[in-house]
Amino acid sequence: MSDDAQVRVYVVEDQAPLLKNLLKALSLFPELTVVGTAQEGEAAVAEIVELQPQVVLMDLELPGIDGIEVTRRVRARTTAVEILVLTSFDDEVKVYEAVKAGAAGYLVKRVGPEKIRSAIREVLDGGTVIEAVIAKRFWNYFHSVQGKPQQTTNPWGLNEKELDVLRYVAKGLSNAEVGEVMAMERRTVRTHLSHLYKKMGVNSHVEAVVLALKAGLVEL
């Protein structure tokens, strides 16, 4: 996503004061255009599918169906929308459920406007946003649910650069942060991710890390 590209954003938040604050935060960035809002789940599903925004900021606690179910229903009807969960909970179980439902990222509501903006950029660039403070707990929880691998395998033939990128991603680093650590440009990180996605037959950071964990290629 280029810096001046217009991004269509939809916001789902049931509490009016928080919705107002979110809209104010998003208004700070001229490239972000809010195309709609909803304060309950069923209405959100219908309007998101109709309006086809590029990114949805999704609260989890909603009247009627919750944000996880909204995410699940939206993803079943369209793959063109990226869903970024924004909630007051930093609970790894909620993160796991949201990501499993199809969310591309997860932020807690206390983050500032710039963090929300960078998270939107990250998911539009094909990344996955899981805050570093919860990333290890998330993947540990995943391990407890899925079980640990019996042996280490690399059936996809990932090279060392690709493995390093994947290991940093599993720690919750964004594409830009991986680039800083590995001393490479962000677009180079994206190239490595694109190659490993193709090798692994996946479309996201989460799917790649999940398979790598199952194979024992990533340690937490």
pLDDT digits (tens, 9 = 90+) for 67-99: 999 999 998 998 889 999 987 766 777 777 888
CA-CA distances (angstroms) from residue 109 to 15, 16, 46, 98? 12, 14, 24, 15
The pLDDT of 192-201, averaged and rounded, is 91
Q: Which domain holds residue 52?
A: 7-124
HSE-up (13 A, CA, CB side) for residue 4: 0
pLDDT exceeds 70 at position 129 = yes
**Do 156 and 105 fall within a single domain?**
no
Task: Measure the CA dihedral 105/109/114/116, to 10°.
Answer: 30
Q: Please, which pLDDT band fits residue 208 given cuts at 50, 70 and 90? A: confident
**Last residue of a domain, which of 76, 92, 124?**
124
**Do 78 and 160 fall within a single domain?**
no
| Between 20 and 170, residue with greater pLDDT | 20
Q: Is residue 142 in a domain? A: no
Q: Is residue 117 in a domain? A: yes
**Do 120 and 167 fall within a single domain?**
no
What is the pLDDT at residue 87?
78
| Contact present, 87 and 109 (Cβ < 8 Å) | yes
pLDDT digits (tens, 9 = 90+) for 135-183: 667 666 666 655 555 567 899 999 999 999 998 888 778 888 889 999 9
Output b/e per residue, 39-59; b: 16+ Cβ within 10 A: bebebbbebbeeeebbbbbbb
What is the pLDDT at residue 171?
79
Number of domains the chain contains: 2
pLDDT digits (tens, 9 = 90+) for 32-62: 999 999 999 999 999 999 999 999 999 998 9
**Do 55 and 101 fall within a single domain?**
yes
| Between 33 and 101, residue with greater pLDDT | 33
What is the pLDDT at residue 217?
85
**Predicted structure pTM score:** 0.71
